[in-house]
Amino acid sequence: MAKAKKPVARSGAKRAAKTTSAKKSRSARVAAPPKVASGELVTLLDLMRYAVSRFTEAGVVFAHGTTDPVAEAAFIVCEALHLHPDQFEMFAAARVTAHEGRRILALIEQRIATRKPAAYLVNKAYMRGLPFYVDQRVIVPRSFIGELLEQHFGGVAEDDSAALIDDPFAVGRVLDLCTGSGCLAILASRAFPNATVDAVDLSGVALAVAARNVADYGLEDRVSLYQGDLFDAVGTERYDIIITNPPYVDAQGMADLPRECRHEPALAFDGGDDGIVLVRRILDQAKDHLTVDGGLLCEIGRGREVVEDAYPDLPLLWLDTEESEGEVFWITADAL
């Protein structure tokens, strides 16, 4: 079922700016929030513009589903008003009530003062336009695998020649290793409508969040959650497709994590000294858990060179997304 076909390169794909920082030098210290007089900020657009200025002055880091201050500001304004981020434009010129305005200003100042990712402040993150509950028990979802499921595995791809499997409807079993909030398991259940999905995490508290999301999507009969250490959690089971976004930050990256990421579970980042301690275990064991026609889709961040040095003979197919280049590979069972 799995095809080792080269996907069409996407033009304009650029190196991901995973951690975009507004100019930090402007303020080492965050001053008390400026007073905003009544009537100064009237519309959603006014409040978004104000948030962009405040985030930039304060040197806030964006790495949690938004990659710049404009998207972050729109997310916060929309969440405070119970709007989907896609609805911002439609309501940009609408006025907010005094109560709504205060709520938005409070969120802006909380974001700056605590450096918590905005997703934790509103307990929500979007992936491929779908909302997921999040709190500090799980990393904020931002995996590139969501987009790749759509582009190369039969989701909403416009280009058939980019498909890496013959028939998404024929996929019977999927494993999501390192599931965190369960976001990728849930997206996989949509990409492969006839599949059951097993989702594994070492963290019991992360699985509690995943269970909430699975229930929110009414997928209890299709997505099963298991606690354990990688493949140990599933015994000798085999799958048509394994997806995984494991921890892959190396020791230097862990030491340099921005303040925002320090609010997230370290277990979700820590990939050991060279960053690929878990990736190695996954690559070494995946064949024993794949059907003969199966394949493994694995995100590894910036560790491509380290992985290629460690596995020079493996024909890894590197996949690009809108905001990443070569941070996820695909490999078929027969090539492992």
Ligand X SMILES: C[S@@+](CC[C@H](N)C(=O)[O-])C[C@H]1O[C@@H](n2cnc3c(N)ncnc32)[C@H](O)[C@@H]1O
Dihedral angle of Cα 76, 84, 132, 329, to the nearest 10 degrees: -90
Spell out, one character per residue from 268 to 307, where the chain touches ligand X: x when CB under 6 A holds, - when not: x---------x-----------------------------
- 181 touches ligand X by CB under 6 A: yes
Dihedral angle of Cα 299, 301, 304, 306, to the nearest 10 degrees: -110
At 198, which amino acid appears?
D
With CB under 6 A as the contact rule, the residue among 85, 101, 155, 180 that binds ligand X is 180
- 163 touches ligand X by CB under 6 A: no
- 151 touches ligand X by CB under 6 A: no
Segment 124-143, which members bind ligand X (CB under 6 A)? 138-139, 141, 143
The DSSP symbol for 222 reads T
- 203 touches ligand X by CB under 6 A: yes
- Nearest approach in angstroms of CB 120 to ligand X is 14
Phi, psi of 222 (to 5 degrees): -120, -25
Phi-psi region of 9 (alpha: psi -120 to 50; beta: other; left: phi over 0): beta
In the bound state with ligand X, the residue whose beta carbon lies nearer, of 184 and 286, is: 184
- Nearest approach in angstroms of CB 182 to ligand X is 8
In the bound state with ligand X, the residue whose beta carbon lies nearer, of 105 and 197, is: 197
* C-alpha closest to that of 171 among 191, 143, 155: 191
With CB under 6 A as the contact rule, the residue among 148, 188, 200, 261 that binds ligand X is 200
Q: Which residue is nearest to ligand X (CB)?
A: 180
With CB under 6 A as the contact rule, the residue among 44, 107, 230, 234 that binds ligand X is 230
- Nearest approach in angstroms of CB 305 to ligand X is 20
In the bound state with ligand X, the residue whose beta carbon lies nearer, of 141 and 275, is: 141
- Nearest approach in angstroms of CB 95 to ligand X is 36
* C-alpha closest to that of 44 among 78, 4, 16: 78
Stretch that binds ligand X, among 56-64, 99-107, 109-117, 173-181 (CB under 6 A): 173-181
- 213 touches ligand X by CB under 6 A: no
At 139, which amino acid appears?
I
Answer yes or no: are the C-beta atoms of 34 and 109 closer than 8 Å: no
CA 1 to chain centre: 27
Range list of H helices, 133-234: 145-152, 183-191, 204-216
CA distances from 57 to 22, 35, 54, 60, 227 (A): 8, 15, 5, 8, 42
Which residue in this structure is represented by tokens 């513009």?
49
SS3 225: strand
- Nearest approach in angstroms of CB 156 to ligand X is 19
With CB under 6 A as the contact rule, the residue among 46, 79, 201, 320 that binds ligand X is 201
In the bound state with ligand X, the residue whose beta carbon lies nearer, of 275 and 326, is: 275
In the bound state with ligand X, the residue whose beta carbon lies nearer, of 200 and 296, is: 200
**234 - beta bridge partners?**
none
* C-alpha closest to that of 246 among 215, 216, 273, 267: 267
In the bound state with ligand X, the residue whose beta carbon lies nearer, of 59 and 247, is: 247
In the bound state with ligand X, the residue whose beta carbon lies nearer, of 55 and 330, is: 330
- 336 touches ligand X by CB under 6 A: no
With CB under 6 A as the contact rule, the residue among 105, 107, 174, 184 that binds ligand X is 184
Range list of H helices, the chain: 44-58, 69-80, 88-91, 98-114, 118-122, 145-152, 183-191, 204-216, 251-255, 277-285, 304-310
Give, in degrees to the nearest 5, the angle at Cα 243 between 150 and 117.
80
Q: Which residues bind ligand X (CB under 6 A)?
A: 138-139, 141, 143, 178-181, 183-184, 200-203, 206, 229-230, 245-247, 267-268, 278
